[in-house]
Chain A
Amino acid sequence: MPDSTPPDAPAPEEGTDASADAAPAASGISRRGLFGLAGAGVLGAGVGVAGGIAVDRFVLPASASAQENAAVYPFYAANQSGIVTPAQDRLHFASYDVASGVTRDDLIGLLKDWSAAAALMTAGDPVGTYGAVNGPYTAPPEDTGEALGLPASGLTITFGFGPTLFTTADGTDRFGIAAQRPEALVDLPHFPADMLQEAASGGDLCIQACSDDPQVAVHAIRNLSRIAFGRAAIRWSQLGFGRTSSTTTAQATPRNLFGFKDGTANIKAEESSVVDDQVWAHGDDGAAWMAGGSYLVARKIRMTIETWDRTSLKEQETIVGRTKGEGAPYSGGTEFSAPDFEATGQGGKPLIAADSHVRLAHPDQNSGAQLLRRGYNFVDGNDDLGHLNAGLFFIAYQRDPRTQFIPIQMNLAKSDAMNEYLRHVGSAIFAVPPGASNGGYVGETLFGA
């Protein structure tokens, strides 16, 4: 009788406060409750930045056998979680188009409903008043139920607004927000060799759901999509099964599907001044409502891995500019040694080739511009030729794409030796607003509380 409630159960608190800080509900179906977080310690790792918390607080069980899956990140915070949060292992990302006929009030209603549901799910609770297995017997359950019994699993849900939310392709201002469109929220230019598919690009709204359990991430997108029916529908979505970046110094550097460590030189949450300078939008950047927000660029990059696998180790390492095992720059040292682009070898040729990925992507070659990368490996089955439809779902957060992603990607698209093995098939950009105030909603700084 796992879900039976004893008649003498203590009365739970009055009213359901969706706050992530609220005590676990006494409900027998609280996912968080199952893992006995009632004496949980709070590990503060806050780094002061403009208007917010740089590193999310995370909660772990007090027991020594702490499960990573029990991590809980707050939904209501100055910055949205899922950016500098330690990159979780799994991703479900979805882009949505707002339905025709939806008014400004309808859109605000959707953002409020989404935020309330996200607050519940990130706390490990099912959505709705009754959840997944209770409520009126003749009605479908409010929550879809596949995450029952699972802990919060470090779930973060991050919302973003695409350019077309502000101004449609034909210039229509559907929601009276065209004037507030940040200048930084540009339409991405065409990059050389782009092979973009319309069906895997763009979108009015996006949701990034990251978790250490794939079922928890999928549950989040599924329930938020269900809540949206009639107001917004999925345009495209992407599952990612392995993180390709570390966003804190505590995490080991993972590998992408080329077999190389990815994200060694990523922005880390602990680098507070870099995070403040390169990741968070500032109030005086041009759009005051974006203060504490960030800009997300997503690129679906297909890797022709079968061809790559037939490439010699020497060629692979030369293309990347790092060793495959340790991940050290070709100029020498270990993984975290700074690359020396001046170092030369036999015949005076640079050790790190002029067209190597590490050189072209390095801040020194891009006026100091950096990105907080948060990408994931994907394999979407196979293509008609029996090749794995595999690659990198690249996600980057930044303060201004005009000076960060765009020039860096232009540099790479023109010259990167790796391009022979890459195809950019999907592309999107979103303004990610600051976090919701306690009990508020994401977007309140744009639409008003």
Chain B
Amino acid sequence: MNTKPLLITATAAITLLALTGCVPNNNGASSGGAGAITVDSSATDCAVSSTSATSGTLTFSVTNSGDQVTEFYLLADDGLRIVGEVENVGPGISRDLVVQAQPGDYYTVCKPGMVGDGIGKASFTVSGDKVQLAGDVQEQVDAAALNYVAYIKDQVGQLVTGTDTFLAAYTSGDDATARDLYATTRANYERIEPVAESFGDLDPAIDFREADVAEGDEWTGWHRIEKDLFPPTAADNGGTTYVPLTADERTSYADKLKTDTQTLYDAVNDPSYTVSIDAIANGAIGLMEEVASGKITGEEEIWSHTDLWDFQANLEGAKVAYEGVRDIVETKDPELVKTLDERFASLQDTLAQYGSLDSGFTYYNELTTDQVKQLADGVSALGEPLSQLTATLVG
């Protein structure tokens, strides 16, 4: 539930520049460490500790000694194009800008108060050899965003139809069919869950677990229906006997889920809807966090125990998001791509031992501790390098 929301931008304001990147070399470029260039942004000046550097990974350690929120920019030789920036540096705060810089002429400038042309604009020269980078990244970025939006629309479209079928069985009292459809229908949602999370109230309405609901708030969505389809014993229900929902109550919860799913559909089919490149990468990271926090613990599907279905769908969604940006990342950090390719495949192999979405999975409560540990190890093995994806992508 608490993953990084997949940010939605109204305009495709993606400015991924070939000059930026963040593949740290091992020369030691931490704040104040070897290689760091310090920037003092005061009310009146933008004092950079050096006016030149050698090409490669540069770290500007920006300190705001003024009393207004400031920004620092590294501009190209036209004095306009932004090569790298740090924003929202509060008074007294320090923040690093890490850029991969090609040889050439640049400008450094600070912008206390965050408006106007900035102050202390000064020349900055990068000498040395050209750093090997990809050619036209922008084209790849645009294509990745386009493809991912198409994927979201496809999944939400399938979710709408699947939910209709599921709810028809549920409201007509055909519990056996509804139970069969429950986990597989949810897969369309679990693949793109961070998208719904980006729309504020939508994910809580659709996917909250009983434990997530605040006192006084109404519990709705998939898991409310899950509990009714897989009713707990009194012992598993805090000592009280579970009271099944009436036909009217069933219809009421079904209508609500249907409406909320339609709202999600309308939102992602809005012509202005698009996703930024970092949102795609954060979506991949967020989906694996979902697995680590909810599925590997058996907390997501506490009544149906269908956590491995969600696990598979989260993994597929993360893989699609990753694949969308993979080629761009490869030009910047081929080692990371190699590791991620291996770890995605390895985790999928481990999970496949317990079934598939087509044939069904082992229920979570039937897994041994050793089996859960093995899955958890695979999730950590993938999640740790995956957490570098956004930084490598947008640098």
Contact = CB atoms under 8 A, between A and B. Distances in A.
A15 interface: yes
B49 A27 contact: no
B29 A130 contact: yes
B1 interface: no
A129 B29 contact: yes
B63 A5 contact: yes
Contacts of B34: 11-16
A7 B30 contact: no
Contacts of B385: 230
A230 B339 contact: yes
B337 interface: no
A28 interface: yes
A139 B22 contact: yes
A1 interface: yes
Nearest to B374: A100
Given A137-B86, A138-B390, A233-B377, A129 B28 contact: yes
Interface in A1-59: 1, 3-9, 11-16, 25-29
A231 B343 CA distance: 11
B30 A135 contact: yes
A134 interface: yes
Contacts of A4: 63, 65, 92-94
B195 interface: no
Contacts of B383: 229
Given A6-B40, A229-B384, A231-B381, 19 more contacts: A1-B63, A1-B92, A4-B63, A7-B38, A7-B49, A16-B26, A26-B32, A128-B30, A129-B25, A129-B26, A130-B24, A134-B96, A135-B30, A137-B95, A137-B391, A229-B383, A230-B343, A230-B384, A230-B385
B391 A138 contact: yes
A13 B36 CA distance: 11
Contact of B30 (A6, A134, A231): A134
Contacts of A233: 373, 377, 380-381
Interface in B369-395: 373, 377, 380-385, 387-388, 390-392, 394-395
B33 A16 contact: yes
A101 interface: yes
Contacts of B373: 233
B63 A226 contact: no
13 contacts: A1-B94, A3-B31, A4-B93, A16-B26, A130-B29, A133-B31, A134-B61, A137-B391, A138-B391, A139-B387, A230-B343, A230-B380, A230-B385
Interface in B1-53: 22, 24-34, 36, 38-40, 47, 49
B394 A138 contact: yes
A27 B94 CA distance: 13
A33 B100 CA distance: 29
B28 to A, nearest CB: 3
Contact of B32 (A9, A129, A135): A9
A136 B30 contact: no
Contact of A136 (B38, B92, B96): B96
Nearest to B63: A4
B278 interface: yes
A230 B377 CA distance: 7
A264 to B, nearest CB: 41
A29 B61 CA distance: 13
B362 interface: no
Interface string B343-369: 100100000000000000000000000
Contacts of B380: 229-230, 233
A388 to B, nearest CB: 24
Contacts of B36: 5
B98 interface: yes
A277 B308 CA distance: 55
A407 interface: no
B22 A136 contact: yes
A273 to B, nearest CB: 43
A12 B94 contact: no
A343 interface: no
A1 B94 CA distance: 8
A69 B30 CA distance: 25
A29 B26 CA distance: 18
The interface size bin for chain B is 35 or more
Nearest to A133: B31
Contacts of A26: 32-33
Contact of B94 (A5, A14, A99, A135): A5
A27 B390 CA distance: 27
A128 B31 CA distance: 12
A28 B343 contact: no
Interface residues of A, number: 38
Contacts of B377: 99, 229, 233
Q: Which of B22, B36, B95 has the most CB of A within 10 A?
A: B36
Identify the interface centre among B32, B94, B394: most chain A CB within 10 Å of its CB. B32
Sorted from nearest, which 6 A-B pairs have the closest CB atoms? A139-B391, A230-B381, A16-B28, A7-B40, A134-B31, A136-B391
A27 B346 contact: no
Contacts of B392: 139
A282 B356 CA distance: 54
B33 A140 contact: no
Contacts of B387: 139-140
Q: Which one of B31, B38, B381 has the highest number of Cβ atoms from chain A below 10 Å of its Cβ?
A: B31
B96 A27 contact: no
Nearest to B48: A7
B38 A99 contact: no
Nearest to B49: A7
Contacts of A6: 38, 40, 63
A125 to B, nearest CB: 10
A16 B278 CA distance: 31
B384 A7 contact: no
Interface string B76-119: 00000000001000001111101000000000000000000000
Contacts of B33: 12, 16, 25-27, 129
Interface string A59-91: 000000000000000000000000000000000
- Which of A29, A229, A230, A233 is most buried by chain B, counting CB atoms within 10 A of its CB? A230
A13 B377 CA distance: 39
Nearest to B21: A136
A140 to B, nearest CB: 5
A242 B313 CA distance: 47
Residue among B38, B339, B390 with max Cβ neighbours from chain A (10 Å): B38
Contacts of A5: 31-32, 36, 38, 61, 63, 94
Given A130-B24, A135-B98, A7 B92 contact: no
A25 B34 CA distance: 9
Nearest to A5: B32
